[in-house]
Amino acid sequence: EGEGAATLRTVMRSVTPLPAPRMMDLPQFQGDHKESLYWGTYRPNVYLGIRSRTPLSLIAGLMWIGLKNGQYFLRHVCQDSDELSTFGWTAHNGRDYGHQALVDHGLFLTTGFIKDKGEGSGYGGDWAVRLDANSERSSLSDAQGSTTHLFFYIADESGKSITMGSHAPSSRGPVLLASGSHDEIGDWELYLRSEDNLEIHRAGFKSMSMHNLSDLVQQAVATNAMQTGNLNLPDTTEDSSNIMIYQVSIKTPAQIDIVFLSGSASKNPTVEERISKLTGPMLSARLESKQKEFEERYDQIFNVNNKIDSKELSVGRAALSNLLGGVGYFYGQSKIALPKGFTQKNGDKYIPYWPAALYTAVPSRSFFPRGFLWDEGFHQLVIWRWDVHISMDIIGHWLDLLNSDGWIPREQILGAEALSKVPEEFVLQYPSNGNPPTLFLAIRDLASGIHAKQFSDDEAEKISAFLERAYMRLNSWFQWFNSTQSGKYKGTFYWHGRDNMTTRELNPKTLTSGLDDYPRASHPSDDERHVDLRCWMLLATNCICSIAEFLKMDSALEKDYYKMSNQLSDFGALNKWHLDDKIGAYFDYGNHTEKVRLRWYDVQDKDTLRRELLRETLQPPQLQLVPHIGYVSLFPFMMGAIPPESWVLEKQLDLISNTSILWTDYGLRSLSRTSSIYMKRNMEHDPPYWRGAIWINMNYMILSALHHYSHEDGPYKGRAGELYDKLRSNLIRNIVKNYHETGFFWENFDQKNKGKGKGARSFTGWTSLLVLIMAESYPTLHR
């Protein structure tokens, strides 16, 4: 067999699903469960976007014209550059209710969303949207823009045409906007009802690309404006349009209800009755009662002992709501990189993964509105406590993405809408690249007996069926790490794939670890061993053992896992590979020198002379522990791998509490102030990311461990408890403060500048762990 044939086989294997029963085929994900989650705000990339969990769905959404510094802008896709002073869900239960507030330069919008599987409705039930618009502009004269233009659209991704309702430019009764029929739900109708004066204009389009609806509206309004002088849609429609857009022009304050009826052909109850149930005063009453239900459930799950004052409580609710409101449904094919040097006949350097669905929470609606593997494990720590069915559905989707090698692509860019947000260099996924298997954190909780009493019999039964089916998939996932990410010696691991040829980076990145530019050995090599990966492997084996115990399984495979788990939790082995016993800190190991720096070089390129920032190595690297103290050093502590009576534990508490090393008043720094790489740029255009800033996922893990050690008998119990209390209140205070001051949750926090939010704003992924920090709910990773 030639080399080409072998490569081809490897490539094909990387895009072949794992041959094992699919998680999503489990009975628990069919029937009522599936129907109850059919509709949702599953398009988190737009300010308000509704779709169903099906590949070719009806989609609906909101746009409006915003006015900033005397200029008009169309709002639709969540964008930082829109400079909204806030947007996000203040309540959302992940199922059938949500309330969102948006503030756009003096325009105050709220969007309510509610579902109703009422009598007469078709598959998935009906839903309604309530829009409230208020404005500082109300006092302005018409010419100054006292009219507010909202747009609501409905479109069929399958291309089926939609019928436009009868024209009713201003009307107080319910107006039929559109109707159609869809294979899964039957006939449907969309109505609008408002008691306010309004003007409606419309446009219909035929198009299969849904990711540029903004352009479509913008062009239609602009073209019409040039002809008529009005900012209106032209009231025209293309033949067999599958996209219908309605412009509703109002004077604020105004309230508009939009209701979608499925199975609308039914006569009893009448359509009129159904509309009145989901609009006007009856909708108000429903929204109120759903809000109350949401708050009560939140208290019951996360605020059991009224731990938090009311100002903080609402921020906790917003964090949960934004996480749940950020859950999306995506469908498409990842692009998998071909081995270096290979190109398809058509020039593509990638091969598509199989078409797949992903139901997932996104880290950020405006910056990264798509699925990220290791982010998801943290999201699920919150979500399973709220709704274990949603959580299993999400984890199940991820596990169905395992390929026949046991690999899951790290970043999920599925479908044109998702792709439109990603710079080209980030699109391809490499089948040799891992990402921390954080799903084990959440799965471990489900498998551990500790939470068992929290579940109803029905839930427990489903969890058990879920774990039973997940077992072989988790095994394959684990084996992928165990075989492809192993180090030179048994029981050692490192993130493979670091670039050892680069001359541009101060310290070659490790994107696979999730900690991107956190410093590792300066000169990547096969001698490396990474302490964080070893600890993730420990978690994985522990979790698999827990499932085996739970399912009472006891074959050779389980025996292997018990053995591996014992080996990985062996304190002596951990210390042998990773402990610096002079300072009591855990480190990576590898070919390393501290004497590197970036320097400007003159580079002759044909006839031009350029200056480039390149790395200069001042001293040859040597095999050694890599002396950077930071999050990676704390992994054995995070995982509870240090015996409570060990002197090493005391050292960890020293490192944590030392203000020159990790401690700040806002949470723990990612990297010690004393590290040679602290706050250093990696390249000219690559500012420090995990080189100092405070990140909430790692702080949560460290806080969990402090909590754990404050309950374990030993000499350091009391000190762990004190640090726990302080760290917890610092984190809560700072995240809440930033939310109140800026209207957003942030990706990370500045360790110097008064704990100021940094990076992506509206980062509602793992920063929402705030909910668990407030509730003092921690993972059961400590056996």
Tell me, by CB under 6 A, how many residues bind ligand 6A9.
12
Name the minimum Å distance from CB 690 to ligand 6A9: 6
Task: Tell me, yes or no, if 1 is annotated catalytic.
Answer: no
Q: 253 preceded by cis ω (within 30°)? A: yes
Name the minimum Å distance from CB 253 to ligand 6A9: 34
Q: Does 123 bind ligand 6A9 (CB under 6 A)?
A: no
Of 375 and 528, nearer to ligand 6A9 (C-beta) is: 375
| x/- letters, 403..442, toward ligand 6A9 (CB under 6 A) | -------------------xx--x----------------
Task: Tell me, yes or no, if 776 is annotated catalytic.
Answer: no
Tokens of 101: 């507030």
- The residue from 82, 505, 558, 747 that is catalytic is 747
Name the minimum Å distance from CB 364 to ligand 6A9: 7
Count Cα neighbours of 555 within 13 Å in the Cβ-side half-sphere. Answer: 2
Q: 269 preceded by cis ω (within 30°)? A: yes
Q: Which stretch binds ligand 6A9 (CB under 6 A): 123-131, 211-219, 325-333, 372-380?
A: 372-380
Q: Does 685 bind ligand 6A9 (CB under 6 A)?
A: no
Longest dimension (CA), the chain: 83
Tokens of 496: 């493979």
Strand, coil or helix: 327: strand
Of 492 and 748, nearer to ligand 6A9 (C-beta) is: 748
Residues 6+ apart with CB under 8 A from 147: 249, 250, 251
Of 120 and 431, nearer to ligand 6A9 (C-beta) is: 431
Name the minimum Å distance from CB 434 to ligand 6A9: 12
| x/- letters, 341..370, toward ligand 6A9 (CB under 6 A) | ----------------------x---xx--
Name the minimum Å distance from CB 378 to ligand 6A9: 10
User: Which residue has tokens 């710079």?
Assistant: 423
- 35, 199, 295, 516: residue in contact with ligand 6A9 (rule CB under 6 A): 516
Of 519 and 765, nearer to ligand 6A9 (C-beta) is: 765
Q: Does 481 bind ligand 6A9 (CB under 6 A)?
A: no
- Report d(CA 481, CA 442) in Å as an integer: 19
The closest alpha carbon to 445, from 703, 777, 776, 700, belongs to 777
The phi-psi region of residue 348 (left if phi > 0; otherwise alpha if psi is between -120 and 50; otherwise beta) is beta
Q: Give the β-pairing of 198-205 and 236-237.
A: parallel
Of 463 and 531, nearer to ligand 6A9 (C-beta) is: 531
What are the helix and strand counts (H, E) for the chain? 19, 32
Return the residues of window 20-79 that contact ligand 6A9 according to CB under 6 A.
Answer: none
Q: Does 765 bind ligand 6A9 (CB under 6 A)?
A: yes
Tokens of 775: 């509730």
Name the minimum Å distance from CB 141 to ligand 6A9: 38
- The residue from 187, 516, 527, 712 that is catalytic is 516
Residue 746 pairs in a beta bridge with 761
- Report d(CA 545, CA 562) in Å as an integer: 6
Name the minimum Å distance from CB 427 to ligand 6A9: 10
Q: Does 372 bind ligand 6A9 (CB under 6 A)?
A: yes
Of 379 and 496, nearer to ligand 6A9 (C-beta) is: 379
Which residue spans within 594-658 are E strands per DSSP? 596-605, 608-617, 622-626
Of 407 and 724, nearer to ligand 6A9 (C-beta) is: 407
Name the minimum Å distance from CB 751 to ligand 6A9: 16
SS3 string, 719-782, reads HHHHHHHHHHHHHHHHHHHHHHHHCCCEEEECCCCCCCEEEEECECCHHHHHHHHHHCCCCCCC
- 116, 126, 312, 375: residue in contact with ligand 6A9 (rule CB under 6 A): 375
Count Cα neighbours of 342 within 13 Å in the Cβ-side half-sphere. Answer: 15
Catalytically active residues, by annotation: 516, 747
Q: Note the residues at the interface with ligand 6A9 (CB under 6 A).
A: 363, 367-368, 372, 374-375, 422-423, 426, 514, 516, 765
